[in-house]
Structure formats: C-alpha cells, structure tokens
Amino acid sequence: MMGRVLLAAMLAFIAGVLLGRSWMEDEALRQSQAQREAWQKRWQEQERGNAALARQLTDEALRRQSAVLSLERNLEDYRHRFRQRVLLPGAWRLQHDAAARLSAAAQPAAVASDAARPVDDLAALETITGNYAQCQEWRAALIGWQQWHQQLSAPIASP
C-alpha cells in the first residue's frame, strides 16, 4: 500500500514537472510570437512612413524642378529681351564665390589670370540660377535625411 502511495506521488510529481515544462514552453512561445508581432507591426509602420516620406520628397522634387524651370525660362526671356549687357565688377564674382565658400581655383572655369575680370549680367544670373537649384537640392536632401532619422528614432510601440 505504501508503495502504491509512493508510486502515485512520484507519478503526480513527474506529471506536474511535465505539465509545468509544457506550460513554460507555451508561455515562451506566446511571448516570442507577441514580440514577432510587435516587430512586424513596427516594420509595417516604418514601411508606411518610408512610403509617405518618399511621396513627400517626390512632390518636393517636382516643386523644386518647376521652380528651376521657371527661373531658367525667365533667364532665357532676359537673354532675348535685353541685348545690352551690364558688366559687374570682378569683385562681384569673388564676393559671390567667398559667400559660397569657393576659392577661384576651386571653380573649373576660373583660372588665376581671370580671378578679378568683370562678369556680365547674364553670366551672373546663370550662376545664381545654378546655385539656387543646387541649394534647393541640398536643402531637400538634408530635410529628407532629417525626416528619415526622426522616423527611425521614434520609440517602438509596446505590444
């Protein structure tokens, strides 16, 4: 009789261990699945944010392109309307290059001998138009990187 009670107690203990182990494995699986679902939800949010950011940047690029085309049309109109040119002093270009933090040697078209030569108004307007377009591209790239970084830095939502 004592042997049967001992055997029953051992079987109950083993069953309890097996049941507890099974419960722990099920709980670990549930937690793993919850984590996977949370990461999948975060990834989907990230993808939606990336798509929205891409649409926004595309729209901004189209607006910039339209603005540059408008400037170029105005420049072309200026070129055909005004035949008499104005010469700007050579210091104008040097000041413009200094403002852009460019040395005369850094520009492919500039050589040491023409560093202070006068610049006609059309060349000045073309330079300004090109610089404006480049500035807008750099600005958009910077804003895009900042938005992307901000989106990545957003806290992860709890499941």
What is the per-residue pLDDT for 158?
A: 52
Strand partners, 87: 120
How far is C-alpha 159 from the geometric centre of its chain's CA atoms? 28
What is the per-residue pLDDT for 84?
A: 67
What is the per-residue pLDDT for 26?
A: 85
Residue with tokens 């055909």: 80
pTM to 2 decimal places: 0.48
What is the per-residue pLDDT for 156?
A: 62
CA distances from 87 to 5, 114, 117, 122 (A): 113, 14, 10, 9
Q: What is the pLDDT along the chain (159 residues), one digit of tens a residue?
A: 777 777 788 878 888 888 888 888 888 888 888 888 888 888 888 888 888 888 888 888 888 888 888 888 888 888 788 766 778 887 877 777 777 665 555 454 555 445 567 888 888 887 777 778 888 888 888 888 888 888 878 776 554
Q: Taking the domains of the chain in order of start, what are their residue ranges?
A: 75-159
What is the per-residue pLDDT for 98?
A: 73
What is the per-residue pLDDT for 73?
A: 87
**3-state secondary structure string across the chain:** CHHHHHHHHHHHHHHHHHHHHHHHHHHHHHHHHHHHHHHHHHHHHHHHHHHHHHHHHHHHHHHHHHHHHHHHHHHHHHHHHCCCCCEECHHHHHHHHHHCCCCHHHCCCCCHHHCCCCEEHHHHHHHHHHHHHHHHHHHHHHHHHHHHHHHHCCCCCCC
d(CA 23, CA 30): 10
What is the per-residue pLDDT for 101?
A: 67
